[in-house]
A and B are shown apart, each in its own frame.
Chain A
Amino acid sequence: MNSIHFATSLATQDRWGVLVAAYLFLGGLGAALIALSLFSHRYFQAGRAITLWGILSGEAFLGFGSALLLVDLLHPIRVWEILLPWNVLILPWSWIAWGTQFIIWAMVFGLLYAWPLLLDEPWFRKLPVAGPWLGRWFDLPLIRLIGDWATRLRTPIAWVAILNGVGTAVYTGLLLRSFPAAALWANDLVPPLFTVSAFSTALAYQLLVLYAVLRQHGTMARWYERLDLILIAVEIVLIFSILFVILPGSLSGQASLSILWHSWGWIVGFLGIGLILPFVMESKGTFMGWQRSAPVILTACMVLLGGFLLRHYFLASGVYVFPWANAGHDGVLGAGIYHVLTSH
């Protein structure tokens, strides 16, 4: 008889921390904001102000999120390797390679779409100090020419940005999906979950801007609220599907569940404040309406908090099952849990 006895130890990862969680959150939020803003402006007559808020905020979130990832790299200067567009042709199997291109082109074409809107927006010209300078710059022939060109080609420009925005949102989930060792990540429902969450947070952000900044409570706001309610409902279905799919499965999945169900941040922060409560609040808002803006603003903030916590806890709760014991030399969860497997 041939018996091979492997011990087992469980370990969480400490390589990707809060910076990467923030990158995944801001990347999904920013890309979804660009896609949502362009689609709303192009096909649902969204106003110039909310469109510019969405696009420019999306650009800022994508830029800041990418900067956080850059800080986390061992050798940041090497990032130029993946900025080159043909990198995806050389490495078409790498989701980070695709994701980088999605981010770049969503940002470039998002800005291009916003260009003529920016030139016509009087707010920028009225800014103290910078306003006159911006006005002169906006009136330069080349800047105007780009604006005219972007206006003529606005439909293809919008679709390139939208597709790359959606691609970025999907990529943030596919990235985790490509790590096979942790059952929580290697789950086909993770990319849809992260995509839905990205668009839900983008809708919440736009609601926040509409209610708190622009004070526009019109048709667009009501549609955004309804759509967000649907996405939160889908997110609830997806999150519980993932949890129940991995429940009867591997040791890795069960260990992840154990971590999640022992984390107040996950239970109260994400499930409670970031998911269930917004669903209840937006249901009330959609079916019965609110007399004031405060509940909508509060709900939007809770959705945004939930979006970050989802990614943070997903990253922190992926569990590796190593076929050796005492893996405690490099940060281990449950070292000393021995599980004997016997093969014959």
Chain B
Amino acid sequence: MTKYAMLINLDTCVGCNACMAACAMENQTPVWNPAKFRTYVYDEEIEVGDKILRQFFPKLCNHCDNPPCVSVCPTGATWKEANGIVRVNPEICMGCQACAMACPYDARYGADRQDISHGEAYYGKDFLKRTVPSIDKCDFCYERLQEGLQPACVETCVAHSRIFGDLDNPDDLVTKVVATGKAQGLLAELGTGPNVYYMHKIPEDLL
């Protein structure tokens, strides 16, 4: 059985935002609204002692083992696949946004009618993937995976910050890194069981 996960190396991310662009074009997200991305890279300045560390922090859906978004959805529009990917079916989503309220990672946004009409002009009516308003989120580029490809953000990452893998494969690099305990999921204390892992080694001279 496959269990998809992503490893993000915060040390190597250069903040080029190519992942955001690739994701937006692949999944036709409403790029005209800065709050509506499936993945977003934050530019951070973190105070460590008397030093300031600048880092880029990519964020996306964590495809949780225990996803609160799935348990609140009243229509079954959001569900978890056997391979671990949490997906949304826009055809049955009524857009109550309870899933977005439940998500501790701010990984969901509502694509409304205005976004659909903007999308027709931006992406072309004949090529439009989204035709009904609904909640939207990262699905690890499910269609690309079906074709044996990597998620768009992973494939486009110039610094190899994003590594996609299968946690049920002991030989997978992601599995090996996660097993060392050097990578960490976000907000694990909430019991969500996130499957996006972050690793980061602070330069020794900053510590």
Which residues on A are within 8 Å of B, measured CB to CB?
2-7, 11, 13, 15-16, 69, 72-79, 81-82, 87, 90-91, 93-97, 100, 175, 178-181, 320-327, 329-331, 338, 340, 343
Contact = CB atoms under 8 A, between A and B. Distances in A.
Contacts of B200: 3-5
Given A95-B72, A338-B46, 11 more contacts: A2-B181, A2-B199, A15-B100, A73-B95, A74-B95, A75-B94, A76-B94, A78-B92, A94-B71, A322-B106, A326-B44
Given A325-B44, A338-B47, A81 B92 contact: yes
Nearest to B41: A324
Interface of B: 10, 34-35, 40, 42-48, 53, 55, 57, 59, 68, 71-76, 92-98, 100-106, 110-113, 132-135, 181-182, 184, 186-187, 190-192, 198-202, 207
A4 B184 contact: yes
16 contacts: A2-B201, A3-B201, A5-B46, A7-B44, A16-B101, A74-B95, A74-B97, A75-B95, A78-B95, A81-B94, A90-B76, A94-B71, A97-B74, A325-B45, A338-B47, A343-B184
A91 B70 CA distance: 10
B104 A93 contact: no
Contacts of A178: 68, 71-72, 102
Given A180-B190, A324-B57, A329-B34, A100 B74 contact: yes
A319 to B, nearest CB: 11
Nearest to B55: A5
Contact of B35 (A69, A96, A329, A338): A329
A4 B48 contact: no
Contact of B191 (A5, A180, A338): A180
A321 B184 CA distance: 17
A15 B110 contact: yes
A3 B202 contact: yes
B103 A181 contact: yes
